[in-house]
């Protein structure tokens, strides 16, 4: 049943034009923050009361709609009430399923948007071109591959509907000039609402819920049971959640033989190969390609900063531990250290977030390699939050592409950051026992190792890497499979 069909006449286009342009610029600013996926948690109040936007939504159906007769059949509540209802319906995830009914639909030709009014008074606006591009019919969208079949080559970005209607309160029907018919489900539309508040709510999906930590994490170390990780998807999911938020998990009850790192990686996705090969052994070697393969102290570092696609996560499985002194791992939350640097020494923080440092890695292991990158020691995301740390003394290049006057301040800043990392309150010490495995965020949790005597028995670790894309993908898939709520 068609509830309403409205088309604006040419003279009516003039009535709504100015408001539409305000809204468009505001919204495009909001949508730009959706581009990243490794954004630290930033608590922000929703923008639902933003006067500019709220005014914009209302104005279309405010004074002006009194003149635009064809769309004035809808009776709109006073603005304050409208705002509240709009927030409740269009922007909030607390919508009652029963309340999600499309009451009216109209075309706003000036803004080139289809406007859907929900029961209760909220309005969602869907741009014409977006609707045409996202037609869900079998000609335009393949449900098996969940892929768009409409090619940009064939998309008329200036297309306008000739007719819109709501069917049964649950489906929006659109007819296009070539006779093509599109149907859009109310829930599908609701999930894709362009309102400021809906954009703000969806932005939370992109936030990383980071828990900063210091040395006292040793008393409360996130732990996981290896056999459970291999068999129980929920246990695997909870483990990955903690890996993401804390950046460090101790896995216990791991068999003391090689191949376990790969087994764990295969439960998530697969190992990331590097110049070390599929995985690597940390044992004392003759003529080592890397200082890791000696018994000397290793300063706090990440692995492979000289990769543009640096491994996201590192695993170190202790197969055999030295019985003598040393061989402990130091672990530091680089995000926590960066946040302390920002507080205590903003100039140093600014320098490390803006100055690019060269990292090189040249040698032979699995094959002959020569890597180089240029990175900020502390990288920020588009919200100004710390996104990753790139830190390793041994592969920081002697070629420093800085004006000479900046070199001393740069070293001062690096030293200040390093000093904070090593503070006893920040630096956690952990001597793994055979059968334990640490897994940590390679671009956040810096790790080091105290020296040990190669004469006090063998120390044998096996290591491997994974990428965050694979981890996040697995987390989302398990979440969907098991129906896990946030
Ligand atoms: Zn279609």
How close is the Cα of 159 to the center of ligand 1, in Å?
13
Residues 6+ apart with CB under 8 A from 452: 295, 322, 324, 325, 326, 327, 459
Phi, psi for residue 373 in degrees, rounded to 5 = -140, 170
Give the chain's count of helices (H) and strands (E): 14, 24
**Could you tell me whether strands 163-167 and 171-175 are parallel, antiparallel, or unpaired per DSSP bridges?**
antiparallel
Whose tokens are 């070539």? That residue is: 178
Residue 296 pLDDT: 76
**CATH code, residues 211-482:** 3.60.130.10
User: Which residues of the chain fall short of a pLDDT of 70?
Assistant: 1-99, 284-295
Element housing 409 (H / E): helix 404-422
Tokens of 63: 């004074």
Residues 6+ apart with CB under 8 A from 50: 26, 196
Residue 288 pLDDT: 66
CB 112: neighbour CB atoms within 10 A?
19
How close is the Cα of 183 to the center of ligand 1, in Å?
8
Q: Does domain 10-207 have CATH number 3.30.2020.30?
A: yes
Taking a C-beta distance cutoff of 8 angstroms, is the pair 127, 113 a contact? yes
Tell me the β-bridge partners of 386: 380
Phi, psi for residue 58 in degrees, rounded to 5 = -70, -35
Taking a C-beta distance cutoff of 8 angstroms, is the pair 279, 315 a contact? no
Taking a C-beta distance cutoff of 8 angstroms, is the pair 50, 138 a contact? no
How close is the Cα of 132 to the center of ligand 1, in Å?
7
How close is the Cα of 414 to the center of ligand 1, in Å?
57
Q: Which residues lie near ion ligand 1 (Cβ < 5 Å)?
A: 135, 137, 139-140
Whose tokens are 């502390």? That residue is: 378
The whole-angstrom separation of Cα 3 and Cα 70 is: 14
Per-residue pLDDT tens over the stretch 63-83: 233 332 233 222 223 333 333
How close is the Cα of 71 to the center of ligand 1, in Å?
27
How close is the Cα of 421 to the center of ligand 1, in Å?
56
| Domains in the chain: boundaries | 10-207, 211-482
């Amino acid at each position: 049943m068609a509830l309403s069909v409205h088309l604006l006449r040419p003279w009516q286009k003039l009535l709504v034009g100015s408001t539409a342009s305000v809204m468009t610029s505001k919204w495009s600013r909001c949508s730009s923050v959706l581009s990243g996926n490794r954004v630290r948690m930033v608590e922000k109040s929703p923008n639902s009361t933003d006067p500019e936007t709220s005014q914009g939504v209302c104005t279309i159906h405010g004074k002006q709609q009194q003149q635009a007769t064809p769309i004035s059949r809808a009776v709109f509540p006073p603005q304050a009430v409208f705002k509240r209802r709009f927030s409740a319906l269009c922007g909030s995830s607390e919508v009652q399923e029963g309340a999600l009914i499309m009451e009216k639909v109209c075309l706003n030709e000036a803004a080139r948007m289809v406007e859907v009014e929900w029961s209760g008074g909220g309005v969602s606006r869907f741009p014409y071109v977006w609707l045409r591009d996202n037609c869900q019919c079998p000609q335009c969208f393949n449900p098996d591959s969940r892929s768009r079949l409409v090619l940009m080559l064939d998309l008329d970005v200036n297309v306008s509907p000739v007719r819109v209607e709501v069917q049964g309160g649950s489906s929006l029907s659109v007819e296009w000039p070539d006779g093509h018919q599109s149907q859009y489900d109310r829930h599908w539309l609701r999930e894709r609402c362009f309102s400021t508040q809906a954009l703000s709510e969806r932005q939370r999906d992109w936030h990383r819920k980071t828990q900063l930590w210091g040395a006292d994490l040793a008393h409360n170390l996130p732990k996981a049971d290896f056999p459970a990780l291999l068999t129980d998807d929920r246990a695997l999911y909870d483990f990955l959640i903690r890996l993401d938020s804390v950046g460090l998990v101790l896995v216990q009850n791991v068999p003391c033989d090689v191949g376990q790192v790969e087994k764990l990686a295969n439960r998530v996705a697969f190992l990331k190969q590097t110049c070390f090969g599929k995985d690597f052994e940390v044992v004392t070697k003759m003529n080592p390609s890397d200082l890791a393969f000696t018994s000397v102290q290793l300063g706090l570092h990440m692995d492979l900063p000289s990769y543009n696609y640096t491994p996201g996560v590192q695993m170190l499985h202790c197969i055999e531990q030295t019985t003598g002194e040393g061989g402990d791992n130091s672990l530091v939350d680089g995000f926590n250290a960066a946040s302390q640097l920002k507080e205590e020494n903003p100039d140093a923080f600014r320098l490390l977030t803006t100055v690019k440092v060269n990292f090189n890695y040249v040698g032979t292991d699995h094959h002959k390699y020569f890597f180089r990158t240029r990175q900020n020691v502390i990288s920020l995301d588009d919200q100004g939050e710390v996104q990753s740390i790139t830190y390793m003394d041994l592969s920081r290049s002697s070629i420093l592409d800085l004006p000479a006057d900046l070199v001393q301040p740069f070293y001062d800043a690096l030293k200040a950051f390093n000093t904070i990392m090593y503070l006893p309150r920040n630096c956690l010490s952990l001597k793994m026992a055979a059968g334990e495995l640490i897994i940590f965020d390679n671009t956040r949790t810096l790790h080091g190792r105290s020296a040990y005597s190669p004469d006090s028995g063998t120390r044998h670790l096996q290591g491997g890497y994974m990428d965050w894309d694979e981890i996040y993908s697995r987390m989302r898939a398990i979440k969907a499979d098991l129906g896990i709520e946030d």
